[in-house]
Amino acid sequence: MTKRPLHPRSLAAQAMGKIDPLTKGVVPPIHVSTTYIRDEDNAYSSGFIYGRPDNETVHEAQAVLAMLEEAKAGALLFGSGMAAATAVFQALSPGDHVVASKVMYWALRAWLLTEATRWGLKIEFVETDDLAALKAAVKPGITKLVWAETPSNPLWTITDIAAAAEIAHAAGARLAVDSTCASPVHTRPLTLGADIVMHAATKVLNGHSDVVAGALCAREDDEFWARIKTVRKGQGGILGPFEAYLLMRGMRTLHVRQERQSASAMALAQKLSAHPLVSRVLYPGLPQHPGHDIAARQMQGGFGYMLSIQVSGGERAAVKAAAHVELYKRATSLGGVESLIEHRASIEGAGSPCPPDLLRLSTGIEDFDDLYADLDQALKAGHG
């Protein structure tokens, strides 16, 4: 009898349903060995050679993520989101032309402007949500990679992934998408035409603010994916087994966390839009958001857990409001079960695309009324 296909939420909840063969435990064990026994003929029939590229706990977590992203070529875990992202650019050749989102994770943007250019990569930043501008920037036969972050941090602009893929592929380039702030619960870029999807797995994939990790998933097992594997193996940007175990634990509850977080983010965006001390709310779930129609088409079951607000009264009022939160935590990062708030312009410094009156909000799983009440009192204190 043919088994009925299971929903991704079911497969993720049970870590693909794997049972430990030794103990019959329902939670996969942590494999920590760094070396493996050779066969008598010096072969490795187990498929495991050395701990840097080979670890069963890492493989199991990669399998869960590849399933969630519908990644035919599989997934690779890295020691951080930056390690994952930079591996894509390190797989290119000197002189290659890259088009990247103007609004993106600030540390990666800084790395592209400094280290990547030292290696001979030619980086051009463009508003990737502007398809005309994107098409004008991509050079047929010259551009090798388009890097789009959507929703883009911290302004939450939306890039049309399917359209961006068409533009990239028509020029002979690949499309990589940073989907950290969407997660595979809401967006699966590979199914929309992207070639690579990247996650700072530190964020919502893990969801508990206790693991630093990164991930890449690929649509096709081609020469570029093989090159990325070589970069990861040769440069040692791996994830340890304990971190992989914690990440897999986080992915088992990803769906329920994302449903709660995105529902609260949507409710906050709607209510804060009417707040007298908020001049603007940036959230793709709002009908007035410029990218709402595209987001509604390519995001499922919600619009994510991140939003930003611009505070009436300018930078001083925004900074003061952030100083007066009680439930929200003033901290960097995002996607955890605890709600965070941050004045991004102060963090990013010179060259930041963030308006000085902007506060970035990462929505956790706390009670919605408590979250709103905390923001309300903080905004009032900021204008006091």
pLDDT at 50: 87
End-to-end alpha carbon distance in the chain: 69
Residue 351 has pLDDT above 80, yes or no: no
Q: What dotted CATH number matches 255-382?
A: 3.90.1150.10
Residue 268 has pLDDT above 70, yes or no: yes
Q: Name the active-site residue from 203, 219, 257, 344.
A: 203
User: 8-251, which class in CATH?
Assistant: alpha beta
Q: Name the active-site residue from 54, 105, 188, 320.
A: 105
Q: Name the active-site residue from 160, 178, 195, 374.
A: 178
Residue 228 has pLDDT above 90, yes or no: yes
**For range 301-324, the mean pLDDT:** 96
Catalytic residue check, 178: yes
Catalytic residue check, 105: yes
pLDDT at 279: 98
Residue 19 has pLDDT above 90, yes or no: no
Percent of the chain with pLDDT over 70: 99
Residue 2 has pLDDT above 70, yes or no: no
Catalytic residue check, 222: no
Q: Name the active-site residue from 20, 38, 50, 52.
A: 52
pLDDT at 139: 97
The domain locations on the chain are 8-251, 255-382
Residue 265 has pLDDT above 90, yes or no: yes
pLDDT at 296: 97
Catalytic residue check, 52: yes
